[in-house]
Amino acid sequence: MVHVINLKKTNSISSAGTIRLPKPIPRNVDTSDFSFLKFASTYFSSGITYQHERKPLKQALLKHDLPLDQMAAKAIWIMILRFMGDLPESVPNQSQLSLRSPQLMQEIASILGAKPRRFVRQTVKRQPKSFGNTNGQRGAEEFYQLWLNAGSSHLDKIHFIIGHGILKEELRDEILAQICKQLYLNPSRSSLSRGWLLLSLCLSCFPPTLNFEPNLRSYLRVGTAKLHAGPALHNLERTLVNGARSQPPSLLELQAIRSRQPLKLAIYLTDGQARKLQVDAASTAREAVQQLSDGLGLTDSFGFGLVLSLDEKLMPLGAGREHILDAISSCEQRQLDAPWKLYLRKEVFGAWYDPTLDPKATHLIYKQIIGGLKCGEYRCRSEKDIAMICALATYIEQGAGPVARLTDSQLTAFVPGDLLAPGERAVHNWSRLIATMYESSAYVKKGQDPESQLRAKEDICLFGHLSWPMRHSRLYEVQHVSGPKLQSEDLMLAINATGVALIDETEQVLAACSYAELIRVHYQPNDQMHVLTAQQENFVLQSSEARDVVELIDYMMLNLQQRSSYGVVIQSPQPNQLEDQLSIVPGDLIQFEAGVMGAQLMANDPQCIWRGCSNGQWGQFVAGNVRVLATLVKPSSHLQQIFKERTASGLVEESSSMKSTNTPLRRQHSLAKFADLQFRERFESELSPLWRYSAEPLKSPLLRSLHAKPHLYQQALVIHHHILKYMGDIARGDLPVNTDLIFQPALQDALICDEVFCQLMKQLTENPKEVSEQRGWDLLYLATGIMSPSVLIMRELVLFLRLRNDSLADACLRRLKRSVQHGQRKQAPHLIEVEGIQQRCLHIYHKIYFPDDTVEAFEIESHTRGAALISAISQRLELKSQLGFSIFLKMGERIYAMPEAEFVFDFITELMQCLRQQKTIRSSCDGHYQLHFMRKLWIDCQPGKDLNADLIFTYPQELHKYLKGHYAIRLEVALQLVSLIYRADPDHDEGMPLHDLLHRLLPEDLLPLHTLAEWHQLLGPILKRDAGLDEKQAKLMFLQELAKQPCFGSTFFVVKQLNDQSLPEHLLIAINSGGFHLLDMSSKHLLRSHSYSELGIWSSGKNHFHIRFGNMIGAAKLLCSTTQGYKMDDLLTSYMRYFNDK
């Protein structure tokens, strides 16, 4: 949708530094079995070599079924030769940076019969005049003859060559192979330089096919190519991640390449500021919005998107898969020096929007609303609403005070311009109305207060969210394929906080649906999406952005369901199943009891029992009988009636809903074609094809490549045997199958990994046994969460998963994508993961224990690393900083810190294996562990700076050290702290005997100073003090007093030193941000102190810790006997790493 507005220009722009691209994660692809020369000898047409030459081709390099593709390939070859300077121009061209035909992409699409994507359609809305009828051979010949016989600039040639590759996938390998051929043994330095530039540009716009990719990678890594191939390899990786572009490179990109500088775009914010954003050819709107959000410090970035403005029109790019530079290239094709600008705007709100969550985001939205109100983008229903917004904005911008001090221009600064157009009388009337609102505002009466000004901004943002849902919609061009008849076939799909709507070019709503009415939005191949509604008025829509649409609607529905308090019954309960059973029938509405939300129903076992109200009656129901509705408010009576009428015919059962549509079921993908090329020959004794299910053990591995590696050959057969045992196809006895025997070898060798995926896909193809197939999906689900296959197998696996209707197929696809993104695991799936998928529990929640004796459950996925879990915990606990916090695994009396870079389940598995090998796990606690979250590094942790951290972590951790007697506390100070400790414990028992209470109030080294009777006499009056003191205040006051101690924030270790005669035998070692300190065990006085710069090397073992101080010449050393050496080692390493990184 395009809105015409006047964009306010600012003369001064604060860039505030460049927001840089995140560093890409390189992929290590084995190309040892591939080469460009082998590819050329296998696939090139006869008579064509792989070496550089300067004459036109008589036929294309590769085989093409269509004559048009053959013609295009020969024309592209000539253009490549001319661009590289290997063939002279037919007509000299004066300007090398001009565009002869702005409609080139549309013309190529028309010639090739290709379907243009989004920005191609937006570039030109009409058909090119020069080729009105290009559907035949003659029209194509005229087109190519015209281009080859006329002069063209370098930019023309780049657009011509790359445009063909973008629009016709069958020509991509042809183009890349032609360029590689011209680079091979090319004697000209200038030709070579231009050829590498062209190859890099091509790979920034489209990828090779899976057949050519490994050969191209090999070409880029061999010989002298490695000197030039860096940009090309980088672009290849990025394009494989983000997909092909829809437009050829822009002039802006070429200028950045020429200047050898990173490409930076100015992104204008709604508050008048601008930020420089580093991008590359593959950058998508989603990546850019995430970069901006991170750079600006936005914590609630949902709904923000990029918008491109040109000639006072806005083109929304959103926050999806669209490439930013495609939009810029589209603008340049209209006008090379087009005055475009990019803006970050709030495009869509979630129905659950809360402006208090992110003050920075609230500020930007506030600026957007008052700016949009001024220029007429937002229209209020009444003058009172306008005056209310303007009064609040005046308070925010001008502060509180007498209204007389404000001028008319200040009061009317945000009034829509057309309302002030009549003249001074209109200005005066609006000033008077706004002044009245201003004086009556509760914020103004309260006075000047930054907190109140922030609340006023939040009020304006909430007003905008609730008043203009259509203005805050993310819009997508769609075509109406089937469903209820509408007035137009070319539509816009609007997604906003209230639901989805189909609108025409005049923004008239033709059909609308709330999220509660939506059953499912399902993506299908050919960019189609199926919208299934409760009314069974189902639509099939087509859009180039169909994936983004489905993801956004799914996100909206999931978040609403998680926060919902309502559900609809989809299945009648069994009679007398529960004691207090709710009397319900399918279609009834249930309101869950207070404190229960949809997230709890969806996350737990479907057999869990909950309480709710239906038809005015309260009772119990089973979660599996209810579908949680995507709504925050009670559905209307009309919608409730629809639920009752339609449930019987398939309201909620997605499978039956899918069957009710008139679309055919998806065909299943098999390895049949792949097996012909990559599998071994079938033995006569093997009854089934190698790509199809068989209950018989393999006699030889499937992949031919394994047959040349004897050490892997037998391993592949053993793995297949264990797969059959797990799936129940061969007898397995009473003991469960150890899945480590399947996955651990696959994680250690890429060929075995490929073999495992092939074996699993084989066993899941046409498997007649339901139980066997279900267990096979268990294994594939586990496999996709820990590893990814090679490029060849990846294509087959993705097709296999996309075209299967099994409930786990989509989950496997998501896990596979995350495995590629986050990297491969080191260890086979943990037992928790295996048991989870066996029970079809796709979300694993793990208890995390905190020092204040509270416990919470957090989701841990297969790809979750320690750092991600720390971040999730910190966000939920609302900690101001996660610095210094760590995850610890506790087993018995021993505790181990989890490295942040490790996968959580890998660390648990590795530690268990290590301890079992050392035989340190006692039988009483074998395999039992707890995960704790505590402060590890005590950096910048002054009491009062972060209240939540103080209460949950600092207080309980410091109290433990205090009561252990690690601080040099005088008796008078300890007695003062007794009252605070007593008041800080809300669960203390007033009648508890003093001898049971003493060790919870006083350091253990002070207890022997008095008898029990003396302590009773001393503490009696103290415990009665500060009766009205709040628990939080008591904890904070305790920490503030303890922070005066020189070793506050230390981790203490009691050791026995063995070598230094000048030191006591027993020492108390304190490790903190200041260094390594030795204290007297009795007096707690500091004996020696060493900063981190003075520390040399150290080592630890089961019963020792050794450390050197200073350099190797004359270094002092300390030998300690302790069972805590591993903790000291890890803690010192963590502090050193922190200071080195800093």
SS (H, E, C) 1001-1056: CCCCCCHHHCCHHHHHHHHHHHHCCCCCCCHHHHHHHHHHHHCCCCCCCCEEEEEE
User: Each residue of 282-301: b (16+ CB within 10 Å) or e?
Assistant: bbbbbbbbbbbbebbebebb
Whether 459 and 449 have beta carbons less than 8 Å apart is answered as no
Report the C-alpha gap between 463 and 301 in whole angstroms. Answer: 19
CA-to-CA distance for 931 and 847, rounded, in angstroms? 7
Taking the chain, what is the end-to-end CA distance rounded to the nearest angstrom?
A: 47
Domain at 845-935, CATH class = alpha beta
CA dihedral 196, 33, 165, 234 (to 10 degrees): -50
Domain 36-259 has CATH 1.25.40.530: yes
Rounded average pLDDT per 10-residue block, the chain, 1142 residues = 33 52 72 88 90 92 92 95 90 56 81 63 38 60 87 90 94 96 93 94 95 92 81 92 92 88 93 93 93 93 92 84 92 84 94 93 95 90 92 92 90 90 86 92 87 93 92 90 80 93 84 91 86 86 90 93 93 81 91 92 86 92 92 91 70 37 54 90 86 91 89 92 91 79 94 95 91 93 94 90 84 91 93 89 89 90 94 93 93 89 93 78 61 93 92 94 92 89 75 77 90 86 79 92 92 93 93 94 91 90 90 77 92 91 76
**Domain map of the chain by residue range?**
36-259, 262-346, 379-456, 474-660, 672-838, 845-935, 947-1042, 1051-1141
Q: Which of 1104, 1098, 1095, 1109 is nearest to 1125 (CA)?
A: 1104
Locate 118 and state its tokens. 């989004």
User: What fold characterizes domain 672-838?
Assistant: 1.25.40
What type of residue is 937? L
- Model's pTM, two decimal places? 0.58
**CB burial string 883-892: b at 16+ within 10 A, e below:** ebbbbbbbbe
If you search the block for the tokens 């990846």, which residue do you land on? 794
Q: Write the CA distances from 799 to 90, 437, 754, integer angstroms.
A: 46, 62, 15
What dotted CATH number matches 474-660?
2.30.29.30
Give yes or no on whether 474-660 and 1051-1141 have one common fold. yes
β-strands 474-482, 894-897 pairing: unpaired
> Which pLDDT score, from 0 to 100, does residue 131 have?
41
What pLDDT score was predicted for residue 16? Answer: 46
Eight-state DSSP code of residue 553: H
Choose among 102, 117, 97: nearest CA to 166: 117
Q: In the prediction, which pLDDT does 923 show? A: 42
What phi and psi, each to the nearest 5 degrees, are found at residue 277? -120, 120
| Helix residue spans in 376-449 (DSSP H) | 383-398, 408-411, 417-420, 424-440, 442-446
Q: Is residue 714 within 8 Å of residue 701, measured between CB atoms?
A: no
CATH architecture of 947-1042: Up-down Bundle (1.20)
- The architecture of the domain spanning 1051-1141 is Roll (2.30)
Task: Report the topology of domain 262-346.
Answer: Ubiquitin-like (UB roll) (3.10.20)
Of residues 948, 953, 951, the one with CA closest to residue 938: 953
Q: What is the pLDDT of residue 651?
A: 43
**DSSP letter at 22?**
P
